[in-house]
Amino acid sequence: MTEQLSADDWIKQGLKVLTRSGFTALKADPLAKAMGVSRGSFYWHFADLGAFHAAVLKRWREIAAEEIIAGVEAEGGEPLKALLRRTFGARLDLERAVRNWAAFDPAAQAAVRAIDRRRLDYIETLLERRGFSATSAQARAQILYWTFLGFALSGAPVPAARLQGLLDEIQRMISA
């Protein structure tokens, strides 16, 4: 690379490597080699590997929750339906990679707990907006979220038509 890299360039590369090779590949030397720069460039932006890992996890939380929620809210229409379409229709390799990382690392574990809470709170809010009581919204949100996690962690591809049928059925189940 001939231009100077930003911290964001490193984070983007970290997300790609995490998705493709797992958290054990998130090291300065291999990342620098892959990006065609010296290891010094890494340490220019991050005090240490822990700071880099924290930045990668922060960006994942932005991608996996805040960007999705902002998109759902901007879309208009039925937000729960939009949320289902966006989350179940997304590529979930990064989700699986971060959750695998969380099995071995307390910081990744904390990030996963935080995003789980954020997502559950948002789903509960959507259900309460539809008129469900707080208790019912909480229960339905948890069931819906467990459904999403099972889908995300299975990694099994689902043809588009079948997925749409499943999403329609999920919507009916949580709305009944």
Amino acid occupying residue 161: A
* pLDDT value of position 76: 84
Phi, psi values for residue 38, rounded to 5° = -80, 160
Q: Are 148 and 88 in contact (CB under 8 A)?
A: yes
Q: Which residues contact 19 (CB under 8 A, 6 or more apart)?
A: 93, 94, 97
Residue 87 has pLDDT above 60, yes or no: yes
Amino acid occupying residue 117: R
Q: Are 99 and 112 in contact (CB under 8 A)?
A: yes
State pTM to two decimals: 0.90
Based on DSSP, count helices (H) and strands (E) in the chain, helices before strands. 10, 0
3-state DSSP call for residue 109?
helix
CA distance 109 to 118: 14
Mean pLDDT value of segment 64-75: 95
pLDDT tens column, 118-155: 999 999 999 999 999 999 999 999 999 999 999 999 97
* pLDDT value of position 14: 97
Residue 156 has pLDDT above 80, yes or no: no
* pLDDT value of position 1: 43
Mean pLDDT value of segment 54-77: 95
Rg (CA), the chain: 18
* pLDDT value of position 3: 60
pLDDT tens column, 2-61: 468 899 999 999 999 999 999 999 999 999 999 999 889 899 999 999 999 999 999 999
CA distance 163 to 140: 20
Mean pLDDT value of segment 95-99: 97
Query: Which one-letter DSSP state was computed for residue 37?
Result: S
Q: Are 57 and 108 in contact (CB under 8 A)?
A: yes
Helix 93-102 with 106-129: angle, nearest 10 deg: 130
